[in-house]
Amino acid sequence: MKMLVVLGSPRKGGNGEALARKVTIAVEERGNTVEYIRLNDLNLRPCQGCGGCDKTGICVVKDDMTPIFQAVDEADRILLVSPVYFYGLSAQCKIFGDRFQARWARRYLLKERFRETDGRKGYLLSTAATKGPKIFDCSILTARYIYDAMDVEYGGELLVKGVDKRKAVLEVPDEMARAEQFGRDIVEGRI
């Protein structure tokens, strides 16, 4: 099994990344491959809404998304890692997600399914400083829709509230343990 981790925070070694590294321990321990992509390091243009993908399902904007499309297509499990920014995904994640308009076109305009029966799954890992009951609602909806465009089943989410400073989550052992369990749940097929 190959897992792709898409780091969507501009903050290196932040809360999301710390949790993601814990999730992938369980995945790697069982002999699976894990690849990390840090969106903030890449040259990614936002979707131009040009319709250039409508007839092909392929994005006409040529930038660092090109290898990412391939990495996503080859991954069996995808983990999108985003902080909550103004009640939604980070801008980096939103750009990444919007570019899957090309895959949306392939699925819904061209009616082509992509590896629909192979059990590929995608997950959301998100952290927020506050603890409001709706703090992750927008991010979950957006992540679900991105995975739908990819033709990847949504497998669920790991959400951690009340962590703000970089690495704050390292001081919350229960949440770190929950992340490790999340990884085990993924590789053992519970989620």
Cα dihedral sign, 154-92-150-66 = negative
Work out how close the CB of 156 gets to ligand FMN at its nearest, in angstroms, rounded to a whole number. Answer: 19
Out of 34, 53, 84, 143, point to the residue binding ligand FMN (CB under 6 A).
Answer: 84
The residue number whose beta carbon is nearest to ligand FMN equals 14
Provide CB contacts within 8 A for 52, sequence distance 6+: 59, 60, 61
- Amino acid identity at 39: L
Q: Interface with ligand FMN includes 97 (CB under 6 A)? A: no
Q: How many helices (H) and strands (E) does the chain have?
A: 6, 5
- Residue list 115-174, contact with ligand FMN (CB under 6 A): 127-130, 135, 163-164, 166
Coil/strand/helix, residue 77: strand
Residue with Cβ nearer ligand FMN (17 or 151): 17
Chain residues in the site for ligand FMN (CB under 6 A)? 9, 11, 14-17, 83-87, 127-130, 135, 163-164, 166
